[in-house]
Amino acid sequence: MAHEVVTRTFEILKAISAETDITFWGADEILRSPCAEVTEADFKNGMVDRVAAKLEKNLKFYRDKTGIGRGIAAPQVGENLRIITIYLNDIFETLINPVIIRRSQEDAIYREGCLSSLPLTARVVRPHLLTVDYLTPDGRQVTKQCNEIESRLLGHELDHLDGIWFADKAAPGTLRMVYDLKSLLSEKLELI
């Protein structure tokens, strides 16, 4: 059984590598580089729409292959721009130039994985709740008070925009490989 799960995981990784633009950790320095702010010119010349479509396409494919995956950042598909796409409540949403404007004083720890480093996981401490400012692809300014799931997800994706990998923030002794990907969905967020 374990051999079958590991074999299936590596088959998924091969398909993702062959059929998407997703960059894996260690394969490209863009994942370690802070991203550029999206400019008005990026909206006007179609760059924002092109990157947003690329992010959604890659996240959809990843979800179809693995059954998991809630967010992706532009550097994960080779784009050095401050753009992320998230998937929550059966809706894809793209955030442009997202910025955390408020963090709760309370922290939470949770086991995270990453599209760019499957099947590596780690328990990571992040603020329990966030408030985030961002632009929509049509240029509208939004302030979002995030729930605990959105806060966790946006904290992870915003780190990508700053060249930070979730494993950099791993709680000591918590890095591990998880081949049963759906088991991550049963992990519970713990307040600390």
Q: Is 157 a catalytic residue?
A: yes
Q: How many residues does the chain have?
A: 192
**What are the tokens at 133?**
């400012």
> What is the DSSP code (8-state) at residue 6?
H
CA angle 139, 140, 143 (to 5 degrees): 130
Q: How confident is the model over 75-120, as pLDDT tens digits?
A: 999 999 999 999 999 999 999 999 999 999 999 999 999 989 878 8
What is the dotted CATH code of the domain comprising 2-191?
3.90.45.10
Q: How confident is the model over 157-175, as pLDDT tens digits?
A: 999 999 999 999 999 999 9
Residue in the structure block whose two tokens are 């950042």 = 73
Phi, psi of 44 (to 5 degrees): -70, -35
Phi, psi of 26 (to 5 degrees): 90, -15
- In a 3-state reduction of DSSP, which class is residue 122? strand
Which pTM does this prediction carry? 0.91
Which of the following is catalytic: 40, 150, 157, 190?
157
